[in-house]
Amino acid sequence: MQYTVPHYYKKFHCLAKDCPATCCAGWQIQIDPASLRRYALAKGPLGSRLKNEIVWSEKRFRQYGGRCAFLNEDNLCDLYLEGGGEKAFCRTCRTYPRHIEEFEGLREISLSLSCPAAAELILGCREPVRFLHAENPRKNETYPEFDFLLFTKLADARSLMIDILQNREHSIKVRMAAVLSLAHDLQERIDRNALFDADSLFERYSSPRLWTWFSDRLRLLGKKAAKSGQNTRRDETLGSLFVILNQMEVLQPDWKAYLRESRAALWEAEAASPEADPDLQVQEDSFREIFTDITAEQLMIYFIFTYFCGAVYSRNAYGKMKFSFAGTVLIRELARARFLLSLKKSAADGANRTPVQKIPGECPAESPEKCPVLLTDAACRYAREVEHSDFNKYKMEKLLGNETKFSLENLFSLL
Ligand code: SF4
């Protein structure tokens, strides 16, 4: 069995009682069969508590006010404290925030963006992500239906996408447009069972001409938008992405309100004209110091590494890419909304600075090793809602398949 992890994987440390968003509240914790059997046999006071605090018919821990029954007032886990540490955990608690994707003979393990400590590692990483490999020859398995040819092409495409995304000589807009388009073209070959043609596609996307071609294409689109005086295509596509978020199963009770408030802040900013408010460009420049090209690169790679090769089961490589692209854009926009709201609040509070000045402690330029709080918060919230519900992931991928709303050009307009 082979294992792949991102290089920052081992740096992860749980924040425990200092965590701003404990993983033991806000969602149901399902218990695996082996742990359930162990809990059923537990003796003494902890055994009695387990008997009472598990909903046995649903194989999950009971919750009070949205918090796990074992999460104490100090935000620490009583099961961990009284049960002898990590060995008392069920598989979900032992694994989180690690996310495991399973392929024949391969486990790809990432850290989930929904955990603030993991988000800090992912978004705070300035260097290009590397992937580390290990092997355990004693563990082996076979998947009878596994499509090895497709998996190999997906893995090759993903390596190329990561190379493109990490080429910092070019703007992130061009890099994102190129990988989106690569997935689009690969899907076309998957659909017509022409995987033999994938290598020539990869060659084309490895050529230096790639950069001028996508730069020109984006420039042309930008010109068209400028000519019409407004970026309707962008506004409509972004609106459609938010509509998808609105159609999802809700996991955290405050998610809808958070979404409403964020959308309203973005709408207000969209409606303002740059002539009427000259601060807008300065605000945008300040936001770009928070959500940098490197942030977008790390997010795209996080999503692509985690999900892209899962297309071996669904044969929907373009859907996985659209999911990654949409996640990156939506996290950017949620962070932008929080940025705008914080400017508004400091202006309303009469803070001794103009709205376009930096917010102390929230700008990476002031604390280069730390990620801005509003950014990690937006990423964690998004990941908790979307990535922790199979229904939501499936629905988002399906709705993004609408080629009228989410065509390549429409998605390019979001860059
Ligand atoms: S969300 Fe992450 S940092 Fe917070 S308690 Fe859970 S594992 Fe620890």
Checking if the pLDDT of 101 tops 50, the result is: yes
356 pLDDT band, cuts 50/70/90, is very low
Checking if the pLDDT of 150 tops 70, the result is: yes
Question: Taking Cα atoms as reference points, which of 134, 139, 108, 165 lies closest to residue 312?
Answer: 108
Q: Residue 321 is encoded by which pair of tokens?
A: 């890419």
Residue 309 belongs to some domain of the structure: yes
My answer on whether 265 and 386 are in the same domain is yes
d(CA 162, CA 297): 9
Probe residue for ligand 1, chosen from 11, 15, 376 as the CB with the greatest number of ligand atoms within 8 Å: 15
d(CA 35, CA 16): 22
Contact of 413 with 325, CB cutoff 8 Å: no
Contact of 211 with 170, CB cutoff 8 Å: yes
My answer on whether 38 and 153 are in the same domain is no
User: What's the pLDDT score for residue 354?
Assistant: 44
Q: What is the largest CA-CA distance in the chain?
A: 75
Checking if the pLDDT of 353 tops 80, the result is: no
Condensed to tens digits (0 to 9), the pLDDT of residues 223-273 reads: 887 777 657 888 899 999 999 999 999 988 899 999 999 999 998 888 776
Residue 106 belongs to some domain of the structure: no
My answer on whether 185 and 37 are in the same domain is no
Residue 137 belongs to some domain of the structure: no
Residue 263 belongs to some domain of the structure: yes
User: What's the pLDDT score for residue 355?
Assistant: 41
My answer on whether 90 and 158 are in the same domain is no
What number does the ligand 1 atom closest to the CA of 118 have? 2
Question: Last residue of a domain, which of 52, 77, 95?
Answer: 95
My answer on whether 86 and 156 are in the same domain is no
d(CA 301, CA 299): 5
Domain range spanning residue 68?
Answer: 24-95
In the block, residue with structure tokens 């069972």: 193
User: What's the pLDDT score for residue 276?
Assistant: 62
My answer on whether 232 and 345 are in the same domain is yes
Residue 18 belongs to some domain of the structure: no
Residues with CB under 6 A from ligand 1: 14-16, 19, 21-23, 96-97, 115-117
User: What's the pLDDT score for residue 362?
Assistant: 41
Residue 393 belongs to some domain of the structure: yes
Least confident of 112-121, 354-363, 373-382: 354-363
My answer on whether 343 and 256 are in the same domain is yes
The number of folded domains in the chain is 2
My answer on whether 177 and 281 are in the same domain is yes
Question: Last residue of a domain, which of 59, 77, 95?
Answer: 95
d(CA 324, CA 306): 9
Ligand 1 centroid to residue 255 C-alpha, Å: 19
Q: Residue 354 is encoded by which pair of tokens?
A: 């103009």
Residue 14 belongs to some domain of the structure: no
Residue 155 belongs to some domain of the structure: yes
The amino acid sitting at 414 is L
User: What's the pLDDT score for residue 120?
Assistant: 94
Question: Taking Cα atoms as reference points, which of 99, 121, 125, 90 lies closest to residue 15?
Answer: 121
